[in-house]
Amino acid sequence: MADGKRKTFKRKSEPEDGARDSTDELRNYLSSDFASLRDEIHREITSRDILLRKLEESVTRLSEDIAPVKDYVAAEMEEEDDDASSQSSDSPEGGAPQDGDQETEEERNNRAQNRCVDVMMSLTEIRMNNEEKTQKVRGFYEKIYKASPFTSLMLKFLERNGGVKVLIDCDSSNISNLGGRLVNLDGEKCNGTAFLTFADIFECRVYLGGVSGLFRLYKRGQYVNETFDPEVSLAQSLAQMVMYLTFKNRGCPYACGDEMYEKLYEKIVLETSQKKESVIMDGCVYHAFSMKSSLAREVSLISVVPGMLVKYGSNEGMSKLLEQVPLLTFFFIHHVIPKMRS
């Protein structure tokens, strides 16, 4: 079935002039553009002024050429589906079928999902737990897993690495019952009532208030009410934990000392900040920029990608991401995802 999807994608993407337009070509097109940007940064890495000028020129060109990303993303997501199906069908875990049995793609995917969600549930502590709360929290993980191949990869990463503890209060929209005073990324000590969710990356703990509701958000000169979805916030906090475990750099999506990707990401953050003043963006973006310090904004902004995929689903979420934050999405796909895989 996955092969059928790939064939459908290629037929749909085939240009009228008969030129070859495959996933590999899209990948090569984008990889070469991104590689060119990296090479330019590397050559000028000793001069900050020249570096920033090169970044400006390169990111501008990349922004103009961003349209093919939609096709690239579709191909990447199909490839993730195929990889997940292949791995789950080859694995002896979870009751793999014996010779002669025929397991459908859907059954293989469900088995892989159940195994991953089971592991995440084993890492989760629910305050005053009961069967209803267990099913509710399980639903959070299932929604994150199903949202996109990128978000399921995030859970698989945590499944493989372990060490993360998730604490959830299903009776509150904040985390006041789960811990005392916490220090946020801006360095401020706050009570639990100030947090809907919180990722304590140094303790490898994620806190979540599991009740949906509304919160006030400052957006384009005025305060508006935004819906708080626990599964979206959980996905964003888990993403921050994955960034920390992957790059070991306080939750930033690049390794310590990797000046090339650091400067590139700073440029993307700056462009996104400027763009949000002229283009209406999702509340996840505005919430990231409500942080005071550059560190907090950087850590929060990268988690917007999985957050919006869970919030809107795979197709609509990716469409909104490519429309509102294309360079951030490109950075996540081309830099973060490969690091998570490796």
Q: Are strands 205-209 and 197-200 parallel, antiparallel or unpaired?
A: antiparallel
How far is C-alpha 7 from the geometric centre of its chain's CA atoms? 27
Quote the pLDDT of residue 9.
37
Low-confidence ranges of the chain (pLDDT < 70): 1-101
Q: What sign results for the dihedral spanned by CA atoms 150, 155, 159, 164?
A: positive
Total-model pTM: 0.75
3-state SS of 66-103? CCCHHHHHHHHHHHHHHHHHHHHHHCCCCCCCCCCCCC
241, 204 Cβ separation under 8 angstroms:
yes
Q: Which amino acid is at 97?
A: P
Q: Which amino acid is at 319?
A: S
Q: Which amino acid is at 58?
A: S
Q: What does each C-alpha distance from 97 to 8, 106, 108, 110, 272 come to in angstroms?
A: 28, 14, 10, 14, 48
C-alpha 53/C-alpha 41 separation (Å) is 10
DSSP state, residue 336: I
Quote the pLDDT of residue 180.
80
Quote the pLDDT of residue 74.
53
Quote the pLDDT of residue 106.
87
Phi/psi-derived region of residue 89, left when phi > 0, alpha when psi is between -120 and 50, beta in every other case:
alpha
Quote the pLDDT of residue 228.
83
